[in-house]
Amino acid sequence: WPGSDFYKYSLFCIFNVIWWTVFMEKWKRLSNRLAYQWGSYDLQIFERPRPLYYGDLKNSPITNQPERRYPKWKRVLKKYLVSYPILICCLALSLWIYFAFYGIQMKTDHDYPLDDSLFFIHAKLMRTLPSTGYSLLILGLNLIYRKIATHLTDFENHRLRTSYENNLTSKLFIFYFMNCFIGLFYEAFINANFTNVVQLLTVFVIFNAIFLKFTEQIGPYVIKRFKKNQLIERTSQNVHVSEAVKQALTLSSFD
């Protein structure tokens, strides 16, 4: 049995690839069988157009009913002349940001070496600052890239919801992969600096967990409580006003 970590990790990666391949093939077979049994196989041919889909009204050759049509060549031109250039510019921006971070990280590592002196903790904290800033920048860019991908997909004007979601998912995958994993890939496989890989991955996982915790749980809870308090205040004010009106009407009846 190989004693080196390299062989252990290599065997583990091969096992994961084989296991995922078998799992996905079994899952595709099961999903196709269930879709055939439930009568939902190829259900996308009956899919209705998206509500935001626009185009010229023309009679359908099948139903002879007016339906919206949008030329395919316009959508292709939008992809190649607008969506893809913007996508390439965003990827180039992500690369430039990473290499700027890499230069700052190398300078920080050189200025604050890790030795057994009394300033070890201070040096460790200073070496972590570039990774912290880069992780925060990645989280902000992910939000911006998501808005860009959504606007580009809306601009392409896809007819079906399935096509819209597939194109949006492909853009988000490219954005997130390049923005989140290009640094880890470069440090691990090209620069072979596993210390920086561990540091960058640790900081990114921690900040991403905090960000998701706030956006998915804490933030919605605070907004819900704030709206609930506003609703209670408005309801109490309306109750006071209605009681004052009733008292005024009662007194006016005696007059």
Residue 184 bridge partners (DSSP): none
pLDDT in tens, 136-187: 899 899 999 999 999 999 999 998 888 999 999 999 999 988 888 888 888 8
Q: Domain locations in the chain?
A: 71-219
CA atoms within 13 A on the CB side of 155: 16
Residue 229 pLDDT more than 90? no
pLDDT at 240: 59
pLDDT in tens, 75-127: 999 999 999 999 999 999 999 999 999 888 888 888 887 776 666 777 778 88
Residue type, 174: I
User: Which residue has 């395919």 as its token pair?
Assistant: 72
Whole-number Å distance between alpha carbons of 149 and 87 = 8
Task: Place 237 in a pLDDT band, splitting at 50, 70 and 90.
Answer: low
Whole-number Å distance between alpha carbons of 127 and 120 = 11
Average pLDDT over every residue of 131-138: 88
Note the Cα 55 to chain centre separation in Å.
29
Higher pLDDT, residue 41 or 179? 179
Q: What are phi and psi of 58, to 5 degrees?
A: -140, 150
Residue 5 pLDDT more than 80? no
Supply the mean pLDDT for the chain: 83
